Amino acid sequence: MPQPSPPAPSALALWLGRAGLLPFVLGAVATAAVSGEWRNLVASALIAYGALIVSFLGGLHWGLALRHADPQASLLAWGMVPSLLAWPALLMPPAAGPSWLGVVLIVCYAVDHRVFAQQGVSAWLGLRRQLTAVASLSCLAAAAVWAFAG
């Protein structure tokens, strides 16, 4: 039997979630502002942070699964998929890693949109949508800088 549905995100959850966007936004801005080896370093940092966040998104599904005495296999299985999707970004060149992560973030949101409703945590989708929009756009912007500025 699942636990009672959590309320909408608190002010602290909103603040912390948005604060977690700083590395994405600063990474995208810095990618455009620097060149050469500094751009490589910034891209590597953005890719690493993005991969960590994508892995965290998978962990949310394990948290949802733990609310049940007999968790759905799909929750546990999907909990591993984001990490497996994020890992290749760490091995990609700086032009490709951020764009891959931008797409993976959007895919994770699409899955969460369905799963959160099924699990009774729809109240968190607004925050989730905001965070995904900024994070994925930041990754895609950084990739665009690489594509056009090389």
95-112: pLDDT as tens digits: 899 999 999 999 999 999
In a domain, 8, yes or no: no
In a domain, 37, yes or no: yes
In a domain, 3, yes or no: no
In a domain, 83, yes or no: yes
Q: By C-alpha distance, which of 95, 108, 90, 103 is closest to 45? A: 90
Report how far residue 73's alpha carbon sits from residue 54's, in angstroms, rounded to the nearest whole number: 20
In a domain, 50, yes or no: yes
Task: Taking residues 37-60, report their average pLDDT.
Answer: 96
Report how far residue 71's alpha carbon sits from residue 140's, in angstroms, rounded to the nearest whole number: 35
Output the pLDDT for position 7.
Answer: 78
In a domain, 55, yes or no: yes
pLDDT at 27 over 80: yes
Report how far residue 110's alpha carbon sits from residue 98's, in angstroms, rounded to the nearest whole number: 19
55-96: pLDDT as tens digits: 999 999 999 999 999 999 999 999 999 999 999 999 999 889
pLDDT at 1 over 90: no
The pair of structure tokens assigned to 18 is 């948005």
Domain that holds residue 109: 14-149
Output the pLDDT for position 45.
Answer: 96
Output the pLDDT for position 64.
Answer: 94
pLDDT at 122 over 80: yes
pLDDT at 44 over 90: yes
Task: Taking residues 122-136, report their average pLDDT.
Answer: 97
Structural domains in the chain (count): 1
> CB-based burial of residue 131 (10 Å sphere; 0-12 exposed, 13-18 middle, 19+ buried)?
buried
In a domain, 1, yes or no: no
Verdict on whether the full-model pTM lies above 0.75: yes
The residue assigned the tokens 């049940």 is 68
Question: What percentage of the chain reaches a pLDDT higher than 90?
Answer: 89
